[in-house]
Structure 1
Amino acid sequence: MTTIYSISDIHGFYDSMLDTLSLVDLNSNKDNKLIFLGDYIDRGKDSCRVLYYIKELEEKYPNQVIVLLGNHEEMFIDWFTLNDKLNWFSQEVNFLTVKSFFSRDEFMDIIKNTKNNGESYSEVSYYMIKEIRKRHSKLQDWLVNKEKQDPFYETDNQIYVHAGIFEKDQFLWKYATQPDEFTWKYPAETGAFYKDIIAGHVSTVNVSNDSKYLGKVFWDGYSHFYIDGETERSGIVPLLKYDTFTGAYSSYTKRMDGSWVEYQITKRRV
Protein backbone atom coordinates (compact mmCIF):
# COMPACT_ATOMS: atom_id res chain seq x y z
CA MET A 1 0.00 0.00 0.00
CA THR A 2 1.37 3.40 -1.01
CA THR A 3 0.24 6.53 0.78
CA ILE A 4 0.28 10.16 -0.32
CA TYR A 5 0.17 12.74 2.47
CA SER A 6 -0.41 16.44 1.92
CA ILE A 7 -0.37 19.53 4.12
CA SER A 8 -0.57 23.24 3.41
CA ASP A 9 -0.59 26.73 4.92
CA ILE A 10 1.71 26.21 7.88
CA HIS A 11 2.29 29.96 8.12
CA GLY A 12 5.22 29.94 10.49
CA PHE A 13 3.70 27.64 13.13
CA TYR A 14 6.60 25.25 13.63
CA ASP A 15 5.27 23.21 16.56
CA SER A 16 1.89 22.66 14.89
CA MET A 17 3.69 21.48 11.77
CA LEU A 18 5.82 18.99 13.72
CA ASP A 19 2.74 17.71 15.53
CA THR A 20 1.03 16.93 12.23
CA LEU A 21 4.15 15.47 10.63
CA SER A 22 4.34 12.94 13.45
CA LEU A 23 1.45 11.22 11.60
CA VAL A 24 3.43 10.88 8.37
CA ASP A 25 5.28 7.66 7.57
CA LEU A 26 7.99 7.96 4.93
CA ASN A 27 10.13 5.11 6.20
CA SER A 28 8.09 1.92 5.97
CA ASN A 29 7.45 2.34 2.24
CA LYS A 30 9.86 4.24 0.02
CA ASP A 31 7.01 4.97 -2.40
CA ASN A 32 5.07 6.96 0.18
CA LYS A 33 5.03 10.68 -0.56
CA LEU A 34 4.54 13.89 1.38
CA ILE A 35 3.42 16.95 -0.58
CA PHE A 36 3.73 20.44 0.85
CA LEU A 37 1.31 22.82 -0.87
CA GLY A 38 2.81 26.18 0.07
CA ASP A 39 2.39 29.14 2.41
CA TYR A 40 5.01 28.12 4.95
CA ILE A 41 5.71 31.67 6.13
CA ASP A 42 3.99 34.75 7.62
CA ARG A 43 1.61 35.07 10.61
CA GLY A 44 3.49 32.73 12.98
CA LYS A 45 6.82 33.49 14.65
CA ASP A 46 8.87 30.58 13.26
CA SER A 47 8.80 31.00 9.49
CA CYS A 48 12.56 30.55 9.15
CA ARG A 49 12.57 27.35 11.20
CA VAL A 50 9.67 26.00 9.16
CA LEU A 51 11.52 26.62 5.90
CA TYR A 52 14.71 25.00 7.14
CA TYR A 53 12.84 21.96 8.39
CA ILE A 54 11.03 21.46 5.07
CA LYS A 55 14.26 21.97 3.13
CA GLU A 56 16.09 19.40 5.26
CA LEU A 57 13.20 16.93 5.02
CA GLU A 58 13.24 17.23 1.24
CA GLU A 59 17.01 16.63 1.23
CA LYS A 60 16.58 13.57 3.45
CA TYR A 61 13.77 12.12 1.30
CA PRO A 62 14.47 13.55 -2.18
CA ASN A 63 12.24 11.08 -3.99
CA GLN A 64 9.38 11.27 -1.51
CA VAL A 65 8.97 14.89 -0.44
CA ILE A 66 7.54 17.41 -2.90
CA VAL A 67 7.60 21.10 -2.03
CA LEU A 68 5.38 23.58 -3.90
CA LEU A 69 5.37 27.33 -3.42
CA GLY A 70 2.42 29.36 -2.19
CA ASN A 71 1.61 33.00 -2.81
CA HIS A 72 3.31 34.03 0.45
CA GLU A 73 6.60 32.49 -0.65
CA GLU A 74 6.24 34.18 -4.03
CA MET A 75 5.79 37.59 -2.37
CA PHE A 76 8.74 36.92 -0.08
CA ILE A 77 10.95 35.88 -3.01
CA ASP A 78 9.92 38.98 -4.96
CA TRP A 79 10.91 41.09 -1.97
CA PHE A 80 14.35 39.64 -1.29
CA THR A 81 15.23 39.41 -4.99
CA LEU A 82 14.26 43.09 -5.32
CA ASN A 83 11.57 42.44 -7.89
CA ASP A 84 9.05 44.11 -5.60
CA LYS A 85 11.04 45.60 -2.79
CA LEU A 86 8.31 47.14 -0.63
CA ASN A 87 5.03 45.31 -1.22
CA TRP A 88 5.60 42.25 1.00
CA PHE A 89 7.69 44.09 3.59
CA SER A 90 5.07 46.79 4.01
CA GLN A 91 2.49 44.14 4.93
CA GLU A 92 4.69 42.30 7.44
CA VAL A 93 2.66 42.34 10.66
CA ASN A 94 5.03 43.16 13.54
CA PHE A 95 7.92 41.94 11.36
CA LEU A 96 7.24 38.39 12.57
CA THR A 97 8.62 36.71 9.46
CA VAL A 98 11.70 38.93 9.20
CA LYS A 99 12.40 38.52 12.92
CA SER A 100 12.42 34.74 12.51
CA PHE A 101 15.62 35.00 10.43
CA PHE A 102 17.55 36.65 13.29
CA SER A 103 18.21 36.17 16.96
CA ARG A 104 16.50 38.74 19.17
CA ASP A 105 19.77 40.61 19.72
CA GLU A 106 20.61 40.59 16.02
CA PHE A 107 17.23 42.05 15.12
CA MET A 108 17.41 44.75 17.80
CA ASP A 109 20.89 45.74 16.59
CA ILE A 110 19.58 46.07 13.04
CA ILE A 111 16.68 48.25 14.16
CA LYS A 112 19.00 50.36 16.31
CA ASN A 113 21.48 50.86 13.48
CA THR A 114 18.86 51.85 10.94
CA LYS A 115 17.22 54.30 13.36
CA ASN A 116 20.54 55.90 14.28
CA ASN A 117 21.39 56.35 10.62
CA GLY A 118 17.98 57.83 9.87
CA GLU A 119 17.41 55.46 6.98
CA SER A 120 14.21 55.57 4.93
CA TYR A 121 11.67 52.76 4.84
CA SER A 122 13.08 51.62 1.51
CA GLU A 123 16.61 51.63 2.87
CA VAL A 124 15.54 49.63 5.95
CA SER A 125 13.92 47.08 3.66
CA TYR A 126 17.07 46.75 1.57
CA TYR A 127 19.23 46.47 4.70
CA MET A 128 17.03 43.65 6.03
CA ILE A 129 17.39 41.82 2.72
CA LYS A 130 21.17 42.16 2.84
CA GLU A 131 21.38 40.88 6.43
CA ILE A 132 19.12 37.89 5.73
CA ARG A 133 21.20 37.08 2.69
CA LYS A 134 24.35 37.03 4.80
CA ARG A 135 22.93 34.43 7.15
CA HIS A 136 20.62 32.36 4.97
CA SER A 137 21.87 32.46 1.38
CA LYS A 138 21.46 28.69 0.84
CA LEU A 139 17.90 28.77 2.12
CA GLN A 140 17.08 31.69 -0.16
CA ASP A 141 18.64 29.94 -3.14
CA TRP A 142 16.59 26.83 -2.39
CA LEU A 143 13.39 28.89 -2.39
CA VAL A 144 14.24 30.74 -5.59
CA ASN A 145 14.99 27.45 -7.35
CA LYS A 146 11.48 26.28 -6.47
CA GLU A 147 10.14 28.89 -8.88
CA LYS A 148 11.68 26.92 -11.74
CA GLN A 149 9.58 23.82 -11.07
CA ASP A 150 5.93 23.16 -11.91
CA PRO A 151 3.52 24.93 -9.51
CA PHE A 152 1.54 21.70 -9.16
CA TYR A 153 2.10 18.00 -8.61
CA GLU A 154 0.06 15.59 -10.72
CA THR A 155 -0.68 11.90 -10.21
CA ASP A 156 -2.91 9.54 -12.14
CA ASN A 157 -5.86 10.60 -10.02
CA GLN A 158 -5.01 13.99 -8.49
CA ILE A 159 -3.71 17.49 -8.98
CA TYR A 160 -2.01 18.95 -5.92
CA VAL A 161 -1.72 22.73 -6.07
CA HIS A 162 -1.55 25.67 -3.69
CA ALA A 163 -4.64 27.59 -4.83
CA GLY A 164 -6.26 26.04 -7.87
CA ILE A 165 -6.41 25.66 -11.63
CA PHE A 166 -8.58 26.84 -14.50
CA GLU A 167 -11.10 24.01 -14.67
CA LYS A 168 -13.38 25.05 -17.51
CA ASP A 169 -11.18 23.51 -20.18
CA GLN A 170 -10.85 20.20 -18.33
CA PHE A 171 -8.03 18.28 -20.06
CA LEU A 172 -6.34 21.51 -21.20
CA TRP A 173 -6.02 22.91 -17.67
CA LYS A 174 -2.19 22.95 -17.77
CA TYR A 175 -2.27 25.37 -20.70
CA ALA A 176 -5.42 27.31 -19.77
CA THR A 177 -4.39 28.12 -16.20
CA GLN A 178 -2.70 31.50 -15.87
CA PRO A 179 0.55 31.36 -13.85
CA ASP A 180 -0.84 33.37 -10.93
CA GLU A 181 -3.94 31.17 -10.66
CA PHE A 182 -1.89 28.24 -9.36
CA THR A 183 -0.96 30.24 -6.25
CA TRP A 184 -3.57 33.03 -6.06
CA LYS A 185 -6.86 31.63 -7.38
CA TYR A 186 -9.88 32.97 -5.53
CA PRO A 187 -12.63 32.18 -4.81
CA ALA A 188 -12.20 28.46 -4.29
CA GLU A 189 -13.89 26.26 -6.86
CA THR A 190 -16.06 23.26 -6.08
CA GLY A 191 -17.85 20.59 -8.08
CA ALA A 192 -16.89 17.73 -10.36
CA PHE A 193 -13.61 17.48 -12.29
CA TYR A 194 -11.99 14.54 -14.03
CA LYS A 195 -9.24 14.44 -11.37
CA ASP A 196 -9.35 15.23 -7.68
CA ILE A 197 -7.92 18.64 -6.82
CA ILE A 198 -6.18 19.08 -3.48
CA ALA A 199 -5.49 22.69 -2.54
CA GLY A 200 -4.83 25.06 0.31
CA HIS A 201 -4.83 28.89 0.12
CA VAL A 202 -8.49 29.41 1.05
CA SER A 203 -9.47 28.30 4.52
CA THR A 204 -11.75 25.32 4.92
CA VAL A 205 -14.14 27.49 6.94
CA ASN A 206 -14.35 29.95 4.05
CA VAL A 207 -14.89 27.27 1.40
CA SER A 208 -17.46 25.34 3.40
CA ASN A 209 -19.06 28.40 5.05
CA ASP A 210 -19.09 26.25 8.18
CA SER A 211 -17.02 26.92 11.30
CA LYS A 212 -16.91 23.21 12.20
CA TYR A 213 -14.20 22.81 9.55
CA LEU A 214 -11.75 25.02 11.41
CA GLY A 215 -8.55 22.98 11.62
CA LYS A 216 -10.00 20.22 9.43
CA VAL A 217 -10.02 19.05 5.82
CA PHE A 218 -13.07 19.98 3.74
CA TRP A 219 -14.28 17.76 0.89
CA ASP A 220 -16.98 19.24 -1.34
CA GLY A 221 -18.53 15.85 -2.07
CA TYR A 222 -17.20 15.83 -5.63
CA SER A 223 -13.60 16.43 -6.69
CA HIS A 224 -12.17 19.09 -4.38
CA PHE A 225 -10.32 18.76 -1.11
CA TYR A 226 -9.26 21.91 0.75
CA ILE A 227 -6.72 21.63 3.54
CA ASP A 228 -5.98 25.15 4.84
CA GLY A 229 -7.21 24.81 8.42
CA GLU A 230 -6.37 28.38 9.51
CA THR A 231 -3.56 27.27 11.79
CA GLU A 232 -3.30 30.74 13.32
CA ARG A 233 -6.79 30.25 14.80
CA SER A 234 -7.03 26.48 15.11
CA GLY A 235 -3.49 25.58 16.18
CA ILE A 236 -3.73 22.64 13.76
CA VAL A 237 -2.18 21.93 10.36
CA PRO A 238 -4.65 19.48 8.76
CA LEU A 239 -3.29 16.36 7.08
CA LEU A 240 -4.91 14.69 4.09
CA LYS A 241 -4.00 11.05 3.55
CA TYR A 242 -4.64 9.11 0.35
CA ASP A 243 -4.37 5.34 -0.05
CA THR A 244 -3.38 4.69 -3.67
CA PHE A 245 -4.54 1.07 -3.49
CA THR A 246 -8.08 1.62 -2.21
CA GLY A 247 -8.56 5.15 -3.48
CA ALA A 248 -9.73 6.18 -0.01
CA TYR A 249 -9.01 9.53 1.62
CA SER A 250 -8.72 10.07 5.34
CA SER A 251 -7.66 12.74 7.82
CA TYR A 252 -7.18 13.17 11.55
CA THR A 253 -8.98 14.83 14.43
CA LYS A 254 -7.05 15.95 17.46
CA ARG A 255 -8.47 15.01 20.87
CA MET A 256 -8.37 17.19 23.96
CA ASP A 257 -5.57 15.01 25.38
CA GLY A 258 -3.41 15.79 22.35
CA SER A 259 -3.78 12.39 20.65
CA TRP A 260 -4.88 12.00 17.03
CA VAL A 261 -7.75 9.90 15.70
CA GLU A 262 -7.93 8.98 12.03
CA TYR A 263 -11.27 9.20 10.25
CA GLN A 264 -12.37 8.28 6.75
CA ILE A 265 -13.50 10.83 4.20
CA THR A 266 -16.12 9.31 1.93
CA LYS A 267 -14.74 9.31 -1.57
CA ARG A 268 -15.13 6.69 -4.25
CA ARG A 269 -12.71 6.67 -7.13
CA VAL A 270 -14.51 7.06 -10.41
Structure 2
Amino acid sequence: MTQRVYCAIGDIHGELDRLKDLHDQLAFHARRHLRNADVTLVHLGDLIDRGQDSCGVVDYLMDLEARIGPRAVTLRGNHEQMMIEAVREDNTESRDSWLRWGGEETMDSYRRRGMEGPSDHHLDWLQSLPTVHRDETQGLIFVHAGVDPNNFPDCGERVQMWTRRKDFFDATCWTAPDLVGQTVVHGHSPTEDNAPEVAHGGRRINVDTGAVYGGKLTAAILVPGEAPTFLHS
Protein backbone atom coordinates (compact mmCIF):
# COMPACT_ATOMS: atom_id res chain seq x y z
CA MET A 1 0.00 0.00 0.00
CA THR A 2 1.39 3.41 -1.02
CA GLN A 3 2.05 5.63 1.95
CA ARG A 4 0.66 9.13 1.95
CA VAL A 5 2.46 12.43 2.03
CA TYR A 6 0.79 14.87 4.40
CA CYS A 7 0.97 18.62 4.74
CA ALA A 8 -0.27 19.99 8.08
CA ILE A 9 -1.01 23.71 8.28
CA GLY A 10 -1.20 25.52 11.60
CA ASP A 11 -3.62 28.12 12.93
CA ILE A 12 -4.76 30.31 10.01
CA HIS A 13 -6.85 32.85 11.94
CA GLY A 14 -8.32 34.58 8.91
CA GLU A 15 -5.02 35.01 7.03
CA LEU A 16 -6.38 34.05 3.60
CA ASP A 17 -3.57 35.54 1.50
CA ARG A 18 -0.95 33.66 3.50
CA LEU A 19 -2.92 30.44 3.20
CA LYS A 20 -3.13 30.77 -0.58
CA ASP A 21 0.59 31.56 -0.76
CA LEU A 22 1.37 28.49 1.35
CA HIS A 23 -0.71 26.29 -0.94
CA ASP A 24 1.17 27.71 -3.94
CA GLN A 25 4.50 26.99 -2.25
CA LEU A 26 3.34 23.44 -1.53
CA ALA A 27 2.39 22.85 -5.18
CA PHE A 28 5.84 24.04 -6.28
CA HIS A 29 7.54 21.88 -3.61
CA ALA A 30 5.54 18.82 -4.70
CA ARG A 31 6.56 19.30 -8.34
CA ARG A 32 10.21 19.88 -7.54
CA HIS A 33 10.84 17.48 -4.65
CA LEU A 34 7.95 15.00 -4.38
CA ARG A 35 7.53 13.88 -8.00
CA ASN A 36 4.10 15.49 -8.08
CA ALA A 37 2.85 13.24 -5.30
CA ASP A 38 -0.77 13.71 -4.25
CA VAL A 39 -0.42 15.47 -0.90
CA THR A 40 -3.15 15.23 1.73
CA LEU A 41 -3.69 18.65 3.28
CA VAL A 42 -4.63 18.84 6.94
CA HIS A 43 -5.70 22.24 8.25
CA LEU A 44 -5.39 22.00 12.01
CA GLY A 45 -8.22 24.31 13.07
CA ASP A 46 -8.56 27.92 14.21
CA LEU A 47 -9.37 28.92 10.68
CA ILE A 48 -11.07 32.10 11.89
CA ASP A 49 -10.82 35.12 14.22
CA ARG A 50 -8.24 37.88 14.69
CA GLY A 51 -7.14 38.08 11.04
CA GLN A 52 -8.73 40.09 8.25
CA ASP A 53 -10.66 37.53 6.17
CA SER A 54 -12.13 34.67 8.20
CA CYS A 55 -15.17 34.47 5.92
CA GLY A 56 -12.86 34.14 2.92
CA VAL A 57 -10.85 31.38 4.61
CA VAL A 58 -13.98 29.32 5.26
CA ASP A 59 -15.20 29.82 1.67
CA TYR A 60 -11.79 28.87 0.31
CA LEU A 61 -11.48 25.68 2.37
CA MET A 62 -15.03 24.58 1.62
CA ASP A 63 -14.29 24.99 -2.09
CA LEU A 64 -11.01 23.10 -1.70
CA GLU A 65 -12.82 20.19 -0.05
CA ALA A 66 -15.36 20.14 -2.88
CA ARG A 67 -12.54 20.05 -5.46
CA ILE A 68 -10.13 17.49 -4.01
CA GLY A 69 -12.33 15.54 -1.62
CA PRO A 70 -10.59 13.41 1.02
CA ARG A 71 -7.19 14.92 0.22
CA ALA A 72 -8.42 18.05 2.02
CA VAL A 73 -8.93 17.50 5.75
CA THR A 74 -10.02 20.37 7.96
CA LEU A 75 -10.26 20.11 11.74
CA ARG A 76 -12.46 22.14 14.07
CA GLY A 77 -10.55 24.28 16.55
CA ASN A 78 -11.67 26.11 19.66
CA HIS A 79 -12.28 29.35 17.74
CA GLU A 80 -14.70 27.63 15.37
CA GLN A 81 -16.42 26.09 18.38
CA MET A 82 -16.67 29.47 20.11
CA MET A 83 -18.29 31.01 17.04
CA ILE A 84 -20.77 28.16 16.66
CA GLU A 85 -21.81 28.43 20.31
CA ALA A 86 -21.93 32.23 20.22
CA VAL A 87 -24.17 32.38 17.16
CA ARG A 88 -26.32 29.30 17.55
CA GLU A 89 -26.93 29.17 21.29
CA ASP A 90 -27.95 32.84 21.51
CA ASN A 91 -25.99 33.13 24.76
CA THR A 92 -24.84 36.65 25.60
CA GLU A 93 -21.87 35.47 27.66
CA SER A 94 -20.65 33.14 24.88
CA ARG A 95 -21.07 35.85 22.27
CA ASP A 96 -19.24 38.50 24.30
CA SER A 97 -16.39 36.08 24.99
CA TRP A 98 -16.05 35.14 21.32
CA LEU A 99 -16.09 38.77 20.18
CA ARG A 100 -13.30 39.59 22.64
CA TRP A 101 -11.15 36.69 21.41
CA GLY A 102 -11.16 37.72 17.77
CA GLY A 103 -14.79 37.33 16.76
CA GLU A 104 -15.25 41.03 16.06
CA GLU A 105 -12.78 40.81 13.17
CA THR A 106 -14.64 37.74 11.91
CA MET A 107 -17.97 39.58 12.02
CA ASP A 108 -16.37 42.42 10.05
CA SER A 109 -15.26 39.96 7.36
CA TYR A 110 -18.88 38.83 6.89
CA ARG A 111 -20.24 42.39 6.95
CA ARG A 112 -17.86 43.34 4.14
CA ARG A 113 -19.65 40.72 2.05
CA GLY A 114 -23.05 42.18 2.89
CA MET A 115 -23.98 39.62 5.54
CA GLU A 116 -25.01 40.23 9.13
CA GLY A 117 -22.80 37.38 10.33
CA PRO A 118 -21.82 33.76 9.65
CA SER A 119 -24.25 31.96 7.37
CA ASP A 120 -25.93 28.68 8.27
CA HIS A 121 -24.02 27.17 5.33
CA HIS A 122 -20.71 28.04 6.99
CA LEU A 123 -21.84 27.12 10.49
CA ASP A 124 -23.17 23.72 9.36
CA TRP A 125 -19.87 22.92 7.66
CA LEU A 126 -17.76 24.04 10.62
CA GLN A 127 -19.91 22.06 13.04
CA SER A 128 -19.49 18.95 10.89
CA LEU A 129 -15.69 19.08 11.05
CA PRO A 130 -13.86 16.44 13.09
CA THR A 131 -11.55 17.38 15.95
CA VAL A 132 -8.97 14.68 15.21
CA HIS A 133 -7.66 12.86 12.13
CA ARG A 134 -5.64 9.65 12.43
CA ASP A 135 -3.53 7.63 10.05
CA GLU A 136 -2.78 4.60 12.18
CA THR A 137 -0.78 2.91 9.42
CA GLN A 138 1.70 5.79 9.31
CA GLY A 139 1.54 6.56 13.01
CA LEU A 140 0.16 10.08 12.66
CA ILE A 141 -2.41 11.89 14.79
CA PHE A 142 -3.55 15.35 13.70
CA VAL A 143 -5.42 17.47 16.23
CA HIS A 144 -5.97 21.15 16.91
CA ALA A 145 -4.81 21.52 20.52
CA GLY A 146 -3.64 18.12 21.74
CA VAL A 147 -4.81 14.95 23.40
CA ASP A 148 -5.15 13.49 26.87
CA PRO A 149 -1.83 11.62 27.16
CA ASN A 150 -3.34 9.08 29.54
CA ASN A 151 -6.71 8.41 27.90
CA PHE A 152 -6.30 8.89 24.15
CA PRO A 153 -8.37 8.23 22.05
CA ASP A 154 -11.14 8.52 24.65
CA CYS A 155 -10.42 12.14 25.56
CA GLY A 156 -13.30 13.91 23.85
CA GLU A 157 -13.67 16.89 21.56
CA ARG A 158 -13.20 19.57 24.22
CA VAL A 159 -9.76 18.27 25.11
CA GLN A 160 -8.78 18.00 21.45
CA MET A 161 -9.84 21.61 20.81
CA TRP A 162 -8.66 23.28 24.03
CA THR A 163 -6.01 21.37 26.01
CA ARG A 164 -2.74 22.88 27.14
CA ARG A 165 -1.92 20.21 29.73
CA LYS A 166 1.75 20.21 30.66
CA ASP A 167 2.01 16.43 30.42
CA PHE A 168 0.79 16.54 26.82
CA PHE A 169 3.73 18.75 25.86
CA ASP A 170 6.16 16.24 27.39
CA ALA A 171 5.94 13.04 25.35
CA THR A 172 7.85 11.14 28.05
CA CYS A 173 4.66 11.45 30.14
CA TRP A 174 2.39 9.81 27.57
CA THR A 175 0.96 6.57 28.96
CA ALA A 176 -1.97 5.80 26.64
CA PRO A 177 -1.21 2.61 24.66
CA ASP A 178 -2.67 4.18 21.50
CA LEU A 179 0.07 6.84 21.59
CA VAL A 180 2.92 4.33 21.43
CA GLY A 181 4.85 4.86 18.22
CA GLN A 182 2.63 7.77 17.19
CA THR A 183 3.45 11.35 16.21
CA VAL A 184 0.97 14.03 17.28
CA VAL A 185 0.83 17.07 15.00
CA HIS A 186 -0.98 20.08 16.47
CA GLY A 187 -1.36 23.84 16.73
CA HIS A 188 -3.28 26.00 19.27
CA SER A 189 -0.31 26.97 21.45
CA PRO A 190 1.93 29.48 19.64
CA THR A 191 5.60 28.58 19.91
CA GLU A 192 7.70 31.03 21.89
CA ASP A 193 10.11 31.77 19.02
CA ASN A 194 7.53 31.66 16.19
CA ALA A 195 9.32 28.62 14.76
CA PRO A 196 7.84 25.13 14.40
CA GLU A 197 8.64 22.77 17.25
CA VAL A 198 9.73 19.15 16.74
CA ALA A 199 9.90 17.63 20.20
CA HIS A 200 10.98 14.32 21.73
CA GLY A 201 12.45 12.78 18.62
CA GLY A 202 9.54 13.88 16.48
CA ARG A 203 6.77 12.44 18.63
CA ARG A 204 5.13 15.87 18.89
CA ILE A 205 5.16 18.57 16.21
CA ASN A 206 3.69 22.02 16.86
CA VAL A 207 3.04 24.17 13.78
CA ASP A 208 1.29 27.13 15.42
CA THR A 209 3.94 29.75 14.74
CA GLY A 210 1.85 32.79 15.66
CA ALA A 211 0.66 33.98 12.26
CA VAL A 212 -1.41 36.76 13.85
CA TYR A 213 1.17 37.58 16.55
CA GLY A 214 4.06 38.69 14.40
CA GLY A 215 5.00 35.18 13.26
CA LYS A 216 4.29 33.26 10.07
CA LEU A 217 1.80 30.69 8.87
CA THR A 218 3.57 27.33 8.78
CA ALA A 219 3.08 24.05 6.93
CA ALA A 220 4.80 20.80 7.89
CA ILE A 221 5.38 18.38 5.02
CA LEU A 222 5.47 14.84 6.33
CA VAL A 223 7.03 12.26 4.02
CA PRO A 224 7.22 8.71 5.39
CA GLY A 225 10.70 7.90 6.66
CA GLU A 226 11.94 11.50 6.46
CA ALA A 227 12.28 14.39 8.88
CA PRO A 228 9.54 17.03 8.45
CA THR A 229 10.09 19.85 5.99
CA PHE A 230 8.58 23.25 6.76
CA LEU A 231 7.19 25.99 4.53
CA HIS A 232 6.28 29.47 5.79
CA SER A 233 4.25 32.41 4.61
TM bin, normalised by shorter chain, reads 0.7 to 0.9
Alignment of 1:165 with 2:147, yes or no, is yes
* CA–CA separation in structure 1 for the residues paired with 2:171 and 2:23: 29
C-alpha spacing 1:2/1:180, structure 2 compared with 1 (3 Å): closer
Provide the residue aligned with 2:25 in structure 1: 23
Give me the TM-score of the superposition, normalised by structure 1: 0.71
Gaps of 5+ in 1: 108-130, 206-210, 255-270
Distance change in 2, residues 1:248/1:34 (3 Å): same
Count of paired positions: 211
1:3 matched to 2:12? The reply is no
In the aligned structure 2, how far is the partner of 1:71 from the partner of 1:253? 23
Which of 224, 229, 233 is 1:250 aligned to?
Answer: 229
CA contact (8 A) 1:20 1:236 kept: no
- Tell me how far apart the structure 2 counterparts of residues 237 and 202 of structure 1 sit (CA, whole Å): 13
Q: Once superposed, which parts of structure 1, at least 4 consecutive aligned residues long, lie more than 6 Å away?
A: none
Would you say 1:137 and 2:120 are equivalent positions? yes
The amino acid that maps onto 2:37 is N
- The root-mean-square deviation of aligned C-alpha atoms, in Å, is 2.4
CA contact (8 A) 1:78 1:85 kept: no
Q: Which runs of 5+ in 2 are unaligned?
A: 173-178
Q: Could you give the per-residue CA deviations for residues 31-72 of structure 1, whole angstroms, max 9, x where no partner exists? A: x20001100111111111111111111111112000110000
Give the aligned residue type for 1:180: R
Shift of 1:88: 3.5
Q: Partners in 1 of 2:96 and 2:90 — Cα distance?
A: 12
1:34 to 31, 41, 48: 41
Q: Provide the rounded CA distance (Å) in 2 between the counterparts of 1:47 and 1:228.
A: 17
Instruction: Provide the C-alpha distance between the structure 1 equivalents of 2:140 and 2:212, rounded to a whole number of angstroms.
Output: 28
Equivalent residue number for residue 191 of structure 1: 171
What one-letter code is carried by the residue in structure 2 that aligns with 1:132? G
Once the two structures are superposed, what CA deviation does each residue of 1:75-100 show, in whole Å capped at 9, x if it has no partner? 10111212644424444248211010
Q: Following TM superposition, by how much is the alpha carbon of 1:182 offset from its aligned partner in structure 2, in angstroms?
A: 0.4
Whose relative contact order is higher, 1 or 2, with alpha carbons under 8 Å and at least 6 apart?
2
Please point out which of 71, 90, 93 is paired with 1:64. 71
Alpha-carbon distance in structure 2 between the residues aligned to 1:138 and 1:132: 11
Pairs within 5 Å for 1:1-270: 2-25=4-27, 28-30=36-38, 32-82=39-89, 84-93=91-100, 95-103=104-112, 106=114, 131-132=116-117, 136-146=119-129, 149=130, 151-155=131-135, 156=137, 157-169=139-151, 173-175=152-154, 177-187=155-165, 189-192=169-172, 193-194=179-180, 195-205=182-192, 211=193, 214=194, 216-222=195-201, 223-244=203-224, 246-252=225-231
Given that 1:68 and 1:152 are in contact with CA atoms closer than 8 Å, whether structure 2 keeps it comes out as yes
CA distance 1:101–1:196, change in 2 (3 Å): same
Q: Give the counterpart letter for 2:142 in structure 1.
A: Y
Residue aligned with 2:50, SS: coil
Q: Which has the larger radius of gyration?
A: 1
